[in-house]
Structure 1
Amino acid sequence: METAHLAGMQFVDIVLGQDFCDVKVEEPDVTRLVDVERDYPHDVAALREQCRHRKDEGSEFTLNHGTLRFRVTAMNEERGPIWFLSRIDAHMRPIYQLPLPRDFVAYTLRPRLQGLLLITGGFGAGKTTAASSLFCHRIATLGGTGVALEDPTGEVCMAGRHGQGRIIQIPISRDRGGYHVALQLVRRSRADFILIGEIRDATTAIEAQDIANTDMPVIATMHASSIEETFDKYQAYLRGGHASSAEANARLAASVAGIVHLTKEYVRAPGGQAVARYVPRCLVLDRTDATCLGAIGKIRDGNFVGLNDDIDLQAARRARGT
């Protein structure tokens, strides 16, 4: 009798304990937990052994198991360690398969693009796939060197030649200074495009903004529930570096080139199964376009709520093809 494998099951994440293995199955209105300890004993035992074996690598690492790949976060409860395995489905996609407006993609391909491109959303919203694919597409099209900095180890394998250019993929370790050390070095690399896996602290946010404003374009992901919250969080990061609110807003207005916020939704397919779709909400901040100057002014004033009008206006123009 053929052994059943966990890879054949549809799930998003795993919570792995000493005597249980819960997989999360997302449906339109609920997230079900299914304990697969008995159903897939060989897979569960192998995952648990890998997690135990790699405990000296720290609280976060990337794990491969057959065709499955996970970002692992390790914690401890009274009975012992618990591992949270976030399934990595991110991969490079052809640009036409991304849930992004064509004009936004074209904007990211401008040879003289400057500033910071942010791809935001919640967990599993497709941020990494979108950012990595845009990053690779620009390097393949325009050439040059792209440097990808990611903590933990890159979720998408990008290293090597891409069309006219090459991508260098650097794993980031908190034990070796995290993004701070790598970003200081990359400033002297004369790279043509930088990818930051995720901005999640003030130091990284400040340095990403500074590099994007003075040295080379940067694309990065951030966890946020909306474009408005993205600016709120980024402003807070900059204020954490002792900037006033006015100074933080001025720096954001000068450096952010565009934002895509992705939302993951589930819809019912004709057969009744739940199918995920990714809905983008975009804001282009083109300093050469007079229609964008109002949005840039709102950022400078800290009126992040007011950006929703500009987002809707750009979407309407996009729909009209103007």
Structure 2
Amino acid sequence: MSQQKGPLTGSDFVDLYIGEDFADVKGLAGASSSRVAAPSDWAEEVDALRDLCKARHQETGIPEFSVIHLDVVYRVTHLDGIGRGGVFVLRKSNAQLRDPRGIGIPKYAVDALLDPTATGLVLITGGMGVGKTTTGASFVVERLKLFGGMALAIEDPTETNINGVHGEGRCIAISASRYNGGYKEHLVRGLRSGVDFFFIGEIRDEETAFEALKAGTNGKLIFATLHASNITTALERMITLASQYSKTAAETLSESLLAVIWQNLEETPKQGGGTFKRFTSSSLVLSGEDAYASKEKIRRNELGGIDGDVERQAARAIWGRD
């Protein structure tokens, strides 16, 4: 059951700085200055967060980690200030779990990713701050609710509060800091542990890309986020990264890939002033007989026609022929 939000947890701000004897906040909604002292009614939550950060910092021994307070995930950076204990800088994670069917992703893609027999690599792509982590984590939780089993979520640092039981399934969340081996180390361990599927917070480096591709060819289902401006760029980036470890990266990607989801938040003007953000998404699903042509383009690393495949797949869905 979700805990009731306190005044700090329910406020909008950019960063919270907590020292041994002060708490300052930047970007507080409605504040008269960019930096103000934390409001007095935040005192109880500030004390709780300071204690959480101290304990986590002592436990991990690393300067970057996450803590959870009242069901909200905070990304924390520890600064070695001259004052006793240094300073903890906290930023709220915007990732929130949602029903994948209501996010705005095309139905044919959602159905493919929630198929009980689904295996392979699922790339969730887009720019910064468009909800890629929300999408990936939401699919993980929904699959656990539908089918049970064990999932492993590997993030750096943790941005989602998905650790624990969901329906008949369980998710084990790991903070894969570069100080404790990073994504590769924990992905390899997870593959040896018998978990049913994975969530990789973000593919950023060559090793992680290569290990994710290999895992996808071994009958595992892997959700992973990747920064890319469109579906074709996402494929190009995966091939480039994995090529540092394999001369057959394109071929392996064609065998491993189940789907690519691209998403964006477009700012649209509102009547009377201001803007609102509108979710848009496109998908390429590589399951079924009609996926052969797309797989061949990826295998040959000839990606010029992929955008057309995305459009044709969407058109078939609209006309009921998917």
Q: Deviations over 1:168-223 (max 9, x none)?
A: 31313433322233222222322222222221121111111111111411111112
1:152, CA displacement in angstroms? 1.8
> Which residue of structure 2 aligns with residue 126 of structure 1?
131
Cα offset, 1:76, TM superposition = 8.5
1:281-313 deviation line (CA, Å, top 9, x unaligned): 211111x322x2221111112223421111112
User: 1:271 deviation in Å?
Assistant: 6.6
Indicate the larger mover: 275-284 or 54-63.
54-63
Q: CA, structure 1 residues 63+178, in 2 after alignment: closer, same or farther (shift >3 Å)?
A: same
Decide which of 46, 63, 70 is 2:74's aligned counterpart: 70
Q: Residues 178, 272 of structure 1: CA spacing in aligned structure 2 closer, same or farther, 3 A cutoff? A: same
Give the total of aligned pairs: 305
Structure 2: gaps spanning 5 or more residues: 1-5
Where does 1:1-322 land on structure 2 (aligned, <5 Å)? 5=7, 7=9, 9-10=11-12, 13-14=14-15, 21-23=25-27, 35-38=34-37, 40=39, 46=46, 53=54, 57-64=61-68, 68-73=72-77, 85-162=90-167, 165-174=168-177, 175-241=179-245, 243-244=246-247, 247-269=248-270, 272-286=273-287, 288-290=288-290, 292-322=291-321
Q: Once structures 1 and 2 are overlaid, which stretch shifts more, 274-283 or 204-213?
A: 274-283
Root-mean-square deviation (CA, aligned residues, Å) is: 3.5
CA distance in 1, matches of 2:198, 2:57: 31
State the alpha-carbon separation in 1 of the partners of residues 232 and 80 from structure 2: 35
Q: Is the 8 A contact 2:205 2:241 kept in 1?
A: yes
Change (3 A) 1:205 1:20: same
TM value normalised by structure 1: 0.79
Q: Distance in 1 between matches of 2:18 and 2:302?
A: 45
- State how far apart, in whole Å, the 1-side matches of 2:50 and 2:149 are: 42
Give the direction of change, closer, same or farther, for the CA distance of 1:273–1:306 in structure 2 (3 Å limit).
Answer: same
CA shift in 2, pair 1:277/1:113, >3 Å: same
After TM superposition, give the deviation of residue 10 of structure 1 in Å. 4.3
2:297 is matched by which residue type in structure 1?
K
Identity of aligned residues (%): 27
Matched residue of 2:160: which SS?
coil
Normalised TM-score (structure 2): 0.79
> 1:74 and 1:250, CA in 2 relative to 1: closer, same or farther beyond 3 A?
farther
Distance in 2 (alpha carbons) for counterparts of 1:276 and 1:92: 18
Residue 3 of structure 2 is matched in structure 1 by none
